[in-house]
A and B are shown apart, each in its own frame.
Chain A
């Protein structure tokens, strides 16, 4: 084959492969445009005022995933009628949580090259009070019961030379002073009663007890632990093994969490459990499917969590004491929080 033939073959291949690539990109662009059009069988979504201190009935705030112009916006429904019409706020968040008139919203921001992420603290009218840069893909967020503290976790992927190792960064900010602890891995760790250092420590899923104490997951050496954290003393102390994404009940007595079942498939290893902090007794909930979410307490007896659904994810609910059955509460929603 001479040079000209080779160049001709190359050119043909470039045109062919270029066509395939362009077609794939256009098809994907088309598909993403469809998601911005109103979904016919979906819930009614209209714009309106969304506030974190509602005057009347308790409200449930979620990231709305229903297709249409308000996809990914924080929307609200009456807590008693989660299936009802949604009121969209116009504020887009990947993750969201709120308590006592403070909201934390993890957003993507279009950068020159890639998206960057930020953690935005919102007031009761979802107006921006403060922005923090976030170093990776948002995964968890929480506000303390007082509304004074916010926490968020992002995934950070290793550099390209190191391959595909993931780690997390968890930060806590004080909304009164804007003081920021941008990496909880810097706290002093006590594991099984001894001081502990390791390069592979990861921390995620903060849940606040009050403005000093919190709980979170600490992972090291391929195992996960429930840790109790102290923001003033800057310490983390392990309490229990095999706990991920803890969520403290409003009465402060129990932790709902993801437990990795030893026999379960690697694809779907987690079940929703509740740990009694006084007795350290674990109770399995009636949800037997794989749950990969930080559950939310609706009162002291019921858990709300996300499971994969037709439009990304749906919200489900199950009693916290292991009784009853799991019920679907609303479709096309994720990242729930109660207000009022």
Chain B
């Protein structure tokens, strides 16, 4: 569909793609990033419309008792991780593959929305949701790779911040849209699903029309487009010290990051959040994430992404400490949510930006997938362990243990990341290329 991409990357013109103006004059946040942000925003409106009304739909329209509905989550997480790795690897095939793989991911999720109109039992709904999530897994790494490719290395933190802010804005708008539809059409869940499908289709279309198929960040084209990395090459990425250290850190810290659901449960139990205000807790985190994603992303560009990534976890540690402290009341709850949102703003896009700095461009998809999957799987393991610890002792003690583990993990990560950067200044822009030259693939380290 997208016909304007130039085959010869050295003769790019400003009409070749929105946002890919000439090097040196390109804006800090290229049009491609805004386009991808718009795609994520629109897609998240669509997805969160469903998430917001699904419980109501299942309980009131289908008349089902959905307890135990979350049991599939574990399996979904595992499959999601594999799909994400596959998506990242496939996207590195050269040419327009990033866009194609991301497009398939967005498309798969879009197709799932009308399927919900046909699914009338919990097993069917679970299957549709699993397919939806597979689409999400597939598109995440290629999308982050495209953001990295479209942005000059020194502005990647801000670019990812802009993307995450737009993404979160969509997540906040989705429920509002869904409830507005239900206002007009009482019990109109089919209307919500239809509107969600239309919105999702629009997201795919914006991707097709406004995200260029070929991206580069002004660095010289380092490879012929036809070379497709083998699976072995993608996995061999972990031999690169930079990426290995980052994956290790993300995984280590992920192992000690208590899931949102547990944190909110603890806030309710320990800090006495009234039961009826409980549903507002995630909104608090999301709002802070939305507000801080861009400024913290830009800060990461200045002081170093790894440093901010670590600082983000220190903020999370502070949030844990506050929950464990004797302080109570709405101010404390609000502060915990601010810290929690700041943690996301300081780590989510920032990690992707840091990853882009330690992976050669032809492996960006696989690199993003490796780090992201490591972190996601680690968080999943943490959830299992935290649930078990909660059963063994209780929630508060489990959090205390998690806090100690997080502190230890953060210290290890700080050490690991510092060894990766003897100069002490962990500025990663352009690292990939330097790293490339210093450490050829498969060279002994």
Q: Which residues of A contact B (CB under 8 A)?
A: 1-3, 6, 9-10, 13-14, 17-18, 20-21, 24-29, 31-32, 94, 113-116, 133-137, 139, 155-169, 171, 182-183, 186, 196-200, 202, 204, 219, 222, 244, 266-267, 292, 308, 312-313
Contact = CB atoms under 8 A, between A and B. Distances in A.
Given A3-B18, A32-B185, A199-B265, A116 B70 contact: no
Contacts of B63: 292, 308, 312-313
B73 A165 contact: yes
B181 A25 contact: yes
B264 A159 contact: yes
A167 B391 CA distance: 17
Nearest 5 pairs between A and B by C-beta? A165-B70, A28-B188, A159-B282, A28-B185, A24-B194
Contacts of B55: 136-137, 155, 157, 164, 166
B261 A197 contact: no
B413 to A, nearest CB: 23
A325 to B, nearest CB: 23
Nearest to B65: A292
B123 A267 contact: yes
Contact of B190 (A17, A28, A94, A166): A28
Highest count of chain B CB atoms <10 Å: which of A17, A136, A156, A157:
A157
A20 B198 CA distance: 7
B73 A164 contact: yes
A50 B167 CA distance: 51
B69 A166 contact: yes
Contacts of A10: 205-206, 209-210
A182 B185 contact: no
B436 interface: no
A200 B387 contact: yes
Given A28-B185, A164-B51, A313-B63, A159 B261 contact: yes
A165 B387 CA distance: 14
A166 B54 CA distance: 11
B262 A199 contact: yes
Main secondary structure of the interface of B (DSSP, over half): helix
B441 interface: no
20 contacts: A1-B2, A17-B199, A25-B181, A28-B191, A32-B185, A114-B52, A135-B275, A160-B51, A160-B171, A161-B261, A163-B70, A164-B69, A186-B269, A197-B390, A199-B262, A202-B67, A219-B67, A244-B65, A267-B123, A312-B63
B19 to A, nearest CB: 12
A199 B269 CA distance: 11
Contacts of A267: 121-123
B129 A164 contact: yes
A165 B69 contact: yes
A158 B55 CA distance: 9
Highest count of chain B CB atoms <10 Å: which of A94, A113, A139:
A113
Contacts of A183: 275
A21 B275 contact: no
Interface size class of B (residues with CB under 8 A): 35 or more
Contact of B198 (A21, A28, A266): A21
Contacts of A114: 52, 175, 179
A100 to B, nearest CB: 27
Contacts, number: 185
Contacts of A13: 201-202, 205
A305 to B, nearest CB: 13
Given A27-B191, A137-B55, A164-B54, 14 more contacts: A6-B209, A17-B201, A21-B199, A115-B179, A136-B55, A155-B55, A160-B48, A160-B282, A167-B67, A199-B387, A199-B391, A202-B67, A292-B64, A313-B63
A134 B48 CA distance: 23
Interface in B248-303: 259-262, 264-265, 269, 274-279, 281-282
A197 B2 CA distance: 57
Contact of A24 (B68, B190, B398): B190
B179 A113 contact: yes
B230 interface: no
B202 A159 contact: no
B176 A113 contact: yes
A199 B65 contact: no
B195 interface: yes
B185 A133 contact: no
Contacts of A171: 275
A25 B209 contact: no
Interface in B308-325: none
Nearest to A186: B269
Interface in B62-104: 63-71, 73, 76
B226 interface: no
Contacts of B18: 3
B279 A162 contact: no
A244 B68 CA distance: 13
B59 A155 contact: yes
B265 to A, nearest CB: 7
Contact of B195 (A6, A21, A197, A200): A21
Contacts of A18: 198
Nearest to A36: B186
A182 B275 contact: yes
Nearest to A33: B186
A32 B187 contact: yes
B195 A2 contact: no
Contacts of A199: 262, 265, 386-387, 390-391, 395, 398
B36 to A, nearest CB: 15
Given A267-B121, A292-B65, A9 B209 contact: yes
Contacts of B202: 13-14, 17
A67 to B, nearest CB: 12
A29 to B, nearest CB: 4
A222 B63 CA distance: 21
Contacts of A135: 275-279
Contacts of B395: 199
Interface string B36-71: 000000000000100110111001100111111111
Contact of B3 (A1, A166, A266): A1
